Amino acid sequence: MILVALMPILILVSIVIAILRFNSPNVKTSKTKLSSIVSIRLLMVYVVVLLVATVWTWAFPVSSESVTALTSKEVNKKKQDYRLLTAGNAGKMDDSSIIETWTQSVNDGVFKITSKSSEQMPLNLVIKRIDDSESVVKASLYQSMVLYNHYEVQTNLDQVNIEWQNDTLEIGNQTPPETNLNLKFYDYAPINRKFQLEYNYGEFSEYLPVLYVEVPKSIKLYVDQRLVTTISE
Amino acid sequence: MSLQEVSLYEIVKKQVIYKVKSYTGILHTLMVLQIIGLFFAASGNSGMMGGSSGTLNYSITFFSGTAITVMTIMWIITNSVLIATTAYKNDDFTFVSTRWSRHLANGIYITFLAILGTLTSYMGINLIKIVYQILQIEAIYDINLSYMDHFSSIINIFGYILLSGILAYFIGSVLQFNKLFTIFGIIAIVALIAVFNSFNGVNLYYSLGRFILAEDSIAIFMVKIAGICLLAFSASWFLNKNQEVYT
């Protein structure tokens, strides 16, 4: 599109230059110097530099490790798995997305989950009541993720402050710091349009970390329901 | 009358080699303009977008080789017009040559420039990638292209550059044919198109450009480019075939 728009201007510029240089015999003195060895060598150096840069970028792709290319099918699967996780079914989630796991024995048969303030929770809290005779609470923190169409971006939103104090789990009441994420995409102009059609850089989904807490049914649970995303039996 | 019969192929070959070796200023200009284009491209001027979601602010910058390609197109337009001028024509007739051999040599030389411009402009963007990679400034992502994507991209750029060069050569030839005719002709064409646009409520420049350049099929695109180039090149020949060697 840019080229199409610029084409008439480029042609007009060339016409102006042509009229200015029209039939000037002096042009050849500055343009046709026969001592061309240095110039050709200079051009060769320029081409070699570009060639090395091209080979380098093919050999060592520039993609940052924090950005993973996913197919649309993989993206949909991740979304589906995340939905299941927040509904209390962690079975589909990959273990590699767990940041940390805690296991705590509860002595008095009472377990509390608290938050220091009523501010918005920095994560999704999912509680699953399980049939277990042992008085053990297990909590797993699943990382956050950002899905930008075909790309998954891990962010530092995983930094959630969680503290265990005997039988009480306290979730950090601080809102996670704002993350500035700068992505840079490279492409080539002639197929820009193709990318825009195929990739449609529009859909942006951010998924907060999930704290998945498994609590035996035998244990009494005290928790402010406003903190909880899902309680699954 | 000469006792030695000289083949057209040999004459054209010598002229093309002469042009490649002697018009060194053209090569300098290419490097300078493409380096300027690289700076434009490095600034990420091809597009930016951003927004926020919850606690996340995001900005996305798109880099593109468009600036380098545009600079290369400007370069080939300027030089193709210059090649058609009297100064360069006089140089060509220092050889044993005919108008046809000169015309052919110019066509091959413009094609050579287009190939050179295409390859250098296509590879130019990789320099920016390396700089960002070494500096590790921010998260970057390079879209993986297939070999077919690379091929079609190179063919596209070549098509744009060659078309620009041949059209500019045609304009240069028209200027050599008759200056007054050219100036009044351009004014008349621009005026007619303006009248046509205003009466029909269309933008003929845009429609024409879109018809030629915005083609999804690479094969049809190349057929269009080849057709227009052949037409313009033939027209240039018919305009100049009866001109005097020295004017």
Amino acid occupying residue A111: F
Report the residue of chain A nearest B212, measured CA to CA: A4
C-alpha angle A97/A99/A101, rounded to 5°?
115
Cβ distance of A178 and B57 shorter than 8 Å: yes
HSE, CB side, 13 Å, CA atoms: give it for residue A141: 19
**Structure confidence at residue B153 (pLDDT):** 84
Per-residue pLDDT reduced to its tens digit, A157-166: 666 778 888 7
Q: Is A202 on the interface with B (CB under 8 A)?
A: no
**pLDDT on residue B166:** 94
Using pLDDT thresholds of 50, 70 and 90, give the confidence band for residue A34.
Answer: very low
Q: Do B82 and A18 touch (CB under 8 A)?
A: yes
CB contact under 8 A, A187 and B64: yes
pLDDT confidence of residue A203: 62
Residue of A nearest to B77 (CA): A14
Summarised one tens digit per residue, pLDDT across range A89-106 is 887 777 888 888 888 888
pLDDT of residue B82: 85
| Gap from B7 CA to chain A (nearest CA, Å) | 25
- Higher-confidence residue: A115 or A127? A127
Higher pLDDT, A1 or A58: A58
Res A33 pLDDT > 60: no
| pLDDT of A147 | 76
Q: Do B56 and A181 touch (CB under 8 A)?
A: yes
Per-residue tokens: A155: 């962010």
The CA distances from residue A10 to A101, B119, B215, in Å, are: 63, 21, 20
ipTM over 0.85: no
Confidence check: pLDDT of A233 > 80: no
More confident residue, A218 or A201: A218
B12 closest CA partner among B98, B116, B114: B98
Q: Which of residues 66-95 of A touch B (CB under 8 A)?
A: 66-67, 69
| Burial of A65 (C-beta count, 10 Å sphere; 0-12/13-18/19+) | exposed
Q: How far is CA A39 from the centre of its chain?
A: 46
Structure confidence at residue B115 (pLDDT): 95
Residues in chain B: 247
Alpha carbons B224 and B165: distance in angstroms, whole number: 15
Amino acid at A46: Y
The reply to whether A197 touches chain B by the CB within 8 Å rule is no
**pTM as predicted:** 0.68
Phi and psi (nearest 5°) for A190?
Answer: -65, -25
Q: 3-state DSSP helix/strand/coil percent for chain B, to nearest 5?
A: 75, 10, 20
B22 vs A34: CB contact, 8 Å cut-off? Answer: yes
- Which of A27-31, A182-186, B194-198, B203-207 shows the lowest per-residue confidence on average (mean pLDDT)? A27-31
Alpha helices in chain B (DSSP H): 8-22, 24-42, 66-83, 86-92, 99-135, 147-177, 179-200, 204-213, 218-240
Q: Is the predicted pLDDT of residue A111 greater than 80, yes or no?
A: yes
Interface test with A, best of B123, B128, B164, B176 (most A CBs within 10 A): B123
Tell me which residues of chain B have a pLDDT lower than 70.
1-4, 44-56, 96, 136-145, 242-247
Q: Which of A184, A198, A204, A206 to mutate against chain B (most B CBs within 10 Å)?
A: A184
Between positions 19 and 48 of A, the ones with CB within 8 A of B are 19, 21-28, 30-36, 39-40, 42-43, 46-47
What is the phi/psi pair of residue A6, to 5°?
-85, -15
Residue A43 pLDDT greater than 80, yes or no: yes
Three-state DSSP class for residue A104: strand
Q: Is the pLDDT of residue A10 over 90?
A: no
Are the beta carbons of B66 and A47 separated by less than 8 Å?
Answer: no
Q: Which residue has the higher pLDDT, A58 or B108?
A: B108
Per-residue pLDDT tens digits for A72-82: 778 788 888 88
What pLDDT sits at residue B247? 45
Q: Are B112 and B79 in contact (CB under 8 A)?
A: no
- At A178 the pLDDT is 66
pLDDT of residue A48: 93
pLDDT at residue B230 in the model: 93
